């Protein structure tokens, strides 16, 4: 049996942005008396998670290393919240640059690694930062959503590397980071 794991490729914000996101989330959870339940690093998912044989992880690493040398850094800005399927997310402000980057990355992985993306569409998987707040209480969910709609929260940073993540036990762990030109 092949040992398949979920992998994801994303962009990790700058340390100062990570700190701001974590502090904001912590304040929100404290305000609503919700236990901090997820310590995943906030990151921008570039493509939907996919299965990959862990014993062949080196092939994925090699491909991403080559891809990153052909790609350039770009600026990202997040300025609004959205609720998608009971997840609170920070939405990207300008999508054109990252959409082109995503399309290029997906195409590269499809050609070089024969990865078939199940949810592939020409519109692309929408990049966002998920706040990872697990709540099964609809009333609390709505209260938090109302709170988020009233808040302004803006972060921006230079995306100068992509990161390969592996998901084990519902935690996204960094496998390797790749500097962009």
- Contact in structure between 179 and 68 (CB atoms under 8 Å): yes
Is residue 135 within 8 Å of residue 19, measured between CB atoms? no
Averaged pLDDT, 5-32: 91
pLDDT tens, position by position, 128-174: 888 888 777 788 888 889 989 888 889 999 999 999 999 877 788 99
Q: What residues contact 54, with CB distance under 8 A and at least 6 apart?
A: 3, 4, 5, 166
- Would you place residue 13 in the very low, low, confident or very high pLDDT band (cuts 50, 70, 90)? very high
Question: What does pTM read for this prediction?
Answer: 0.86
The alpha helices in 9-153, defined as continuous H runs, are 15-31, 57-69, 96-113, 138-150
* Domains of the chain listed by start with CATH number: 4-179 (3.90.1140.10)
Angle between the 96-113 and 57-69 helix axes, to the nearest 10 degrees?
A: 130
pLDDT of residue 64: 97
Residue 175 to residue 163: CA distance in whole angstroms: 7
Q: Residues 76-113: pLDDT tens digits? A: 999 889 888 878 899 888 889 998 999 899 899 999 99
Total count of residues recorded for the chain: 181
Q: Of the candidates 3, 59, 75, which has an alpha carbon nearest to the alpha carbon of residue 175?
A: 59
Q: Both tokens of residue 153?
A: 């929260």
CA distance 95 to 77: 9
């Amino acid at each position: 049996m092949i040992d398949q794991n979920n992998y994801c490729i994303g962009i990790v914000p700058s340390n100062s942005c990570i700190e701001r996101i974590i502090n904001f989330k912590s304040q929100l959870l404290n305000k609503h008396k919700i236990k901090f339940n997820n310590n995943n690093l906030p990151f921008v998912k570039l493509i939907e998670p996919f299965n990959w044989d862990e014993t062949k992880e080196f092939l994925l690493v090699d491909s991403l290393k080559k891809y990153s040398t052909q790609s350039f850094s770009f600026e990202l800005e997040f300025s609004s919240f959205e609720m998608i399927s009971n997840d609170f997310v920070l939405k990207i402000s300008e999508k054109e640059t990252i959409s082109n980057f995503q399309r290029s990355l997906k195409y590269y992985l499809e050609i070089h690694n024969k990865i078939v993306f199940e949810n592939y569409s020409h519109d692309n998987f929408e990049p966002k930062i998920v706040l990872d707040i697990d709540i099964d209480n609809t009333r609390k969910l709505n209260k938090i959503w109302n709170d988020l709609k009233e808040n302004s929260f803006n972060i921006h940073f230079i995306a100068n590397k992509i990161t390969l993540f592996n998901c084990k036990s519902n935690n996204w762990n960094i496998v390797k980071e790749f500097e962009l030109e």
